Amino acid sequence: MRRIPTLLAWAIIGFLYLPLAVVVAFAFQGSSRLALPFDGPSVRWFATAATDRVVADALLASLRVGLIACTLAVPVAFLTAYALSRYRIRFRGAVSGSALLSVALPPLFLGLSLLTYLSSLGIGPSLDAVALAHAVYVLPYALLAMEARLEKLDPAVEEAARDLGAGPWQTFARVVLPAVWPVALGAGALGFALSFDEFPIALFLAGSDPTLPIAIWSRLRRVIDPSVNAIAATLVGVVGLGVVVGTSLVQIRTLLRGSERGPGA
Amino acid sequence: MRRPILGYALLAPFGLILAGLLLVPAGQFLAYSFLSPVPFGVRFSPTLANYRQVLADPSFWNLFRNSLTVAGMTAVLAVPIGYLLALHLRFSSGRDRVPLLMLTVVAVLGGYLVRLYAWRILLGTNGILASVLSFLGLPLSWPERVLFTRSAVVIALVNAYIPFVAVIAYGSLLDIGDDVLHAARDLGARSAGVFGRVILPLSGRALYGSFAIVFLLTAADYVTPQLLGGAKGVMVGVAIYDQFVRLGNWPLGAAMSVVAVALTGVLVGASWLVLRLAGVLRG
């Protein structure tokens, strides 16, 4: 009897990972057929992708977007979480809840409203526009992680530092920062993974410089190109690594508890 | 607790980002739906013509109905499956709990487009599922018939949203302490009773919340139907995408979005009210 739930859980996980496994397996397919039988393993499609100028540019574009988005979102998340946990703020719930708007709002509308807004300001689609949009997209996750960390950091420690003569900057550098930076790094890694994977918002804003998912998308609409599998497998690898690093630093449990406070929940 | 002024100053960057990149653009988007179109832009003469056009357009309603059907089917399938996974993650005592949790979380966050694309390889003509089925001696052709239909869209979306539901449900199951479960047992409840009378009612809000989010997000999906839906699986999101990207009628596209979001929101809100009045959902 005990076995059945375990089997069921693994079956569900198997279903979840089936598509990713297929793409990664076919990235190592020897022939150009996207069907069985499998003849490999071969890295020829990785070699094809690696010499592709468009893919290299898209990879750089995605790296740049992810880095800018996280550099914006993580410090802002820290300042916000710090203010919420250390100061008497009115409408505290509304402030931290409003960050979740971008999670509950379909990417279609986030992308479209930014596209029309930026173009009315005379800013056309560009990678910087994507980076700004991704900062908004990543912010709630970073905020959840920071709030969870600062809740556990006793304000009395900071007060003690102040009583012992430390100035505000010294308190920040010697007390708050050492406690917070692993979570900041973790939130950054998570945010980077989220941005690296994000497609439906970016499609509206990227213009003529595709990010990696957009490069995959435009290849899907043309002839069958088996190197797509190699590009997609690389993307999955980067995202998976980012998520694993991120969640191990951020502490999965606190993030999960936070997610329950999500909109509608 | 210290001087609040500094606290508000620390909140300023957050407010700036939220207002500048979310609220103001959303407000302007709403305003655009009341303006007149020029190609890929707007002219400042207020009108209700866009809404009249949307509301009178039978193809809009057709697509919207498609979207609601897909969203409803996705949520109905993804929520129970995700909940089952969450129950196992919370209550199993096995050693596989931690790796399963990790795999679930990673699945939420990664591979949106890649997974959609994979369904083409899986379902396509001579696709993997067809090959595997015929290898097993089952000459079933359903995978080939499924690709480029609404079913393919639903399969892909269910696959994408199960981990999402599992994570939200798991978060709420963590809040049900072991002491509560011990109390129920001590008072004589059997496993089925503990589940039906304690665990399920206490996870009602999270289940409804995940149902609502999955419904809202899938109803507005525009990528999955383009990749997997074919002519039979078009959804309203694709039509909105076309208005902005291909046809360039922004006010009409904005009006379509506003109508679709408002009606979906009203549906979700009404279902919440009904469940609340029927006593299924508490507090």
CB contact under 8 A, B109 and A5: no
Residue B237 burial class via C-beta count within 10 angstroms: exposed 0-12, middle 13-18, buried 19 and up: buried
ipTM of the complex: 0.89
Say whether the peptide bond before residue A213 is cis (omega within 30 degrees of 0): no
pTM equals 0.90
d(CA B20, CA A114): 10
pLDDT band (50, 70, 90) for residue B121: confident
Which residues does chain B have within 8 Å of residue A70's beta carbon, measured at their own beta carbons? none
pLDDT for residue A265: 29
Local structure of residue A142 (DSSP, 8 states): H
CB atoms within 10 A of CB A119: 16
CB contact under 8 A, B22 and A106: no
Say whether the peptide bond before residue A106 is cis (omega within 30 degrees of 0): no
pLDDT for residue A262: 37
Which of A94-108, A222-236, B148-162, B194-208 has the highest average model confidence (pLDDT)?
B148-162
Domain ranges for chain B? 59-277
Enumerate the H helices of chain A as residue ranges.
3-27, 44-50, 53-86, 92-98, 101-104, 107-120, 127-152, 155-163, 168-171, 177-197, 202-205, 212-220, 227-250, 252-259
pLDDT for residue A26: 85
pLDDT at B27 over 70: yes
**Which residues, listed in sequence order, are joined to residue B43 by a DSSP beta bridge?**
B36
Do residues B147 and B127 make contact, with C-beta atoms less than 8 angstroms apart? yes
Calculate ∠ Cα B91-B92-B95, nearest 5°: 140
pLDDT for residue A259: 46
pLDDT for residue A28: 86
pLDDT along chain A (265 residues), means of 10: 79 94 85 72 80 90 96 95 87 81 86 93 91 94 89 86 86 88 92 94 92 91 77 89 85 54 35
d(CA B281, CA B212): 13
- Give residue for tokens 């994570």: B167
pLDDT tens track for B266-277: 999 999 999 888
How far B251 CA sits from the closest chain A CA (Å)? 10
Q: Which of A68-72, A157-161, B140-144, B184-188 has the lowest mean pLDDT?
A: B140-144
Reported as type and span, the H/E element at residue B37 is strand B36-38
CB contact under 8 A, A13 and B206: no
Q: Which of residues 9-28 of B touch A (CB under 8 A)?
A: 10-11, 13-14, 17-18, 21-22, 24-26, 28
d(CA A146, CA A70): 13
pLDDT for residue A223: 63
Output the average pLDDT for chain B.
Answer: 89
**Domain covering B59-277, topology:** MetI-like fold (1.10.3720)
pLDDT tens track for B4-19: 788 888 899 999 999 9
CB contact under 8 A, B22 and A263: no
pLDDT band (50, 70, 90) for residue B148: confident
A61 to A127, A203, B150, B197: CA distances (angstroms): 7, 13, 34, 52
